Amino acid sequence: MRDIFVRSQTTIRTYARCREYRSLMNDMKISWQYQPQAGWLAPWKVTLVGDDRTGLSRTEIEKILKHCPRYHFLIIEIAIDFDPVMGIDKNFVRKHGVFGKSRRHA
């Protein structure tokens, strides 16, 4: 889609450039940040955003990751959608949901 300069959101500059892609098959988007501005940063950072209706399939993810030697995940966000007839609405989530960052236990 485009290649843009990355605007700094904090006092620490991370990457200078970002190339944005959109799938030809669905509405999946990829942001590929490159030109690290600090020596401790990886050469690039990739963000995948799935199509709202279909999400990200394993095949789609593998097609992208084959270009990324020695990758590791920083953050994985999971969205779970329910049919309205199931009764899982905003009130149900507020009553039963547990949110926060998970930590590994020994």
Q: For residue 73, tell me if it sits in a domain.
A: yes
pTM metric for this prediction: 0.68
pLDDT at residue 34 greater than cutoff 90: yes
pLDDT bin (cut points 50, 70, 90) of residue 102 is low
Q: For residue 51, tell me if it sits in a domain.
A: yes
pLDDT bin (cut points 50, 70, 90) of residue 10 is confident
pLDDT at residue 19 greater than cutoff 90: yes
Q: How many domains does the chain have?
A: 1
> Rounded distance, CA 3 to CA 17, Å?
7
pLDDT at residue 52 greater than cutoff 90: no
> Rounded distance, CA 26 to CA 42, Å?
29
> Rounded distance, CA 11 to CA 45, Å?
19
Q: For residue 62, tell me if it sits in a domain.
A: yes
Please give the average per-residue pLDDT across 72-98, as a whole number.
80
Q: Which is more confidently placed, 39 or 79?
A: 39
Please give the average per-residue pLDDT across 67-76, as a whole number.
84
pLDDT at 87: 82
The range of the structural domain enclosing residue 39 comes to 2-96
